[in-house]
Structure 1
Amino acid sequence: MQPLIMGAGGVVYRYSEGGQLEILLIKKQGGFWTLPKGRIKPGEDDRSAVAREVAEETSVTGEVGLMVRQVFYTIQKAGRRRRKTVTYYLLHAEAGRPRPQAKERIVRVRWFPVGAALRRIRRKRIRNVVRAARALLNGTAAPELPAT
């Protein structure tokens, strides 16, 4: 059995002056628009990892909220297939201006209304995370329980 890579990600959100829900997306060098995420460090809990990864990748900080969804997939790393699980949490943006972080290979960071964000995200599993987050924020869905 291949080792499992554990990650945590954030659905970073705010409301515009007009009250419209906006989601923060990142674009990595040579990549697509997506949500900020990264590996959980040894001894680090999910929520701390989310806050750290979002700050490192976007320069935005805020309050980590409810868990949105876990996604499971397989990646190629060092010529080996590895299973990966990423747990996404809501993160309400409270401080910081979105800035690309070259050391994280992030080339763009931008706020989008949810509909525009969904059109830019190419991976279905990430679109589903954003849809689940929107439902949670609109009060139309119960939060998912963590997998055991």
Structure 2
Amino acid sequence: MRSVKEISAGGVVYRRENSQVKILLIEDRYSRWTLPKGKKEPGETDQETALREIEEETGIRGRIQKRLETIRYRYFHPNHGDISKEVHYFLVEAGAGSVTPQLSEITGAAWFSPEEAWRKQQEEGYDNNDGVLGQAYQHLGIQAE
């Protein structure tokens, strides 16, 4: 088996509700709370992928505010072998739409206060997203913790 490179994009989606910030997290098929993301399609920019995947997974349309960070990691897929994964994350302000999780891809999606989102990330998320969420909080003027 050969090594395969997979590129994805997604984001930290936020909205302001009565001067309070809310953060959108998804619950993936492994029961982990994480950030919405998905595979890049041919001809798409990273930004287009992020916005499309966020809308497909959660029903929320958004606007990119800032590029956050690119995460790189490797994993083994039983059918495809060694996968080199690259995920481009953006800070995305929620626009139209209501949360309607695409249940074929994820098991849930919900808005959380920054404190709740950080706690879920620490306890039930993926370690490589700590920096992404931290950067988003810094840009939004939110204390992480």
Shift of 1:76: 1.8
Identity among equivalent positions (%) equals: 34
Alpha-carbon separation, structure 1, partners of 2:107 and 2:4: 30
Structure 2 gap segments, 5+ residues each: none
Instruction: Please list every run of 5 or more consecutive structure 1 residues that lacks an aligned counterpart in the other structure.
Output: 140-148
Other-structure match for 2:28:
28
Query: How far apart, in 1, do the equivalents of 2:31 and 2:43 lie?
Result: 29
Q: Aligned partners of 1:64 and 1:55: how far apart in 2? A: 13
C-alpha spacing 1:52/1:79, structure 2 compared with 1 (3 Å):
closer
Note the C-alpha offset of 1:137.
Answer: 2.1
TM-score (norm. length: structure 1): 0.86
Q: What whole-Å deviation, never above 9, does each CA across 1:19-70 have from its counterpart, x for those lacking one?
A: 2221100012333000000111111101110110000000000112210111
Q: Determine helix, strand or coil for the equivalent of 2:90.
A: strand
List structure 1 runs of 4+ shifted beyond 4 angstroms: none
Residue 91 (structure 1) aligned with residue 119 (structure 2): no
**Residue by residue, what CA displacement relative to the aligned partner does 1:48-99 show, whole Å, maximum 9, x if unpaired?**
1011000000000011221011111112222612110101001100111111
Q: Which amino acid aligns with 1:4?
A: K
- The reply to whether residue 138 of structure 1 matches residue 135 of structure 2 is no
Partner SS state of residue 131, structure 2 = helix
Matched residue, 1:69? 69
In the alignment, the residues of structure 1 paired with residue 28 and residue 138 of structure 2 have an alpha-carbon distance, to the nearest angstrom, of 27
Distance 1:80 1:29 in 2: 21
- Counterpart residue identity of residue 138, structure 1: G
Q: TM-score scaled to structure 2, two decimals?
A: 0.87
2:3 is paired with a residue whose SS is: coil
> Match for residue 143 of structure 1?
none
**Contact 2:73/2:85 (8 A) holds in 1:** yes
Offset of residue 3 of structure 1: 2.7
Question: In structure 1, what is the equivalent of residue 81 of structure 2?
Answer: 80
What amino acid maps onto 1:103 in structure 2?
Answer: S
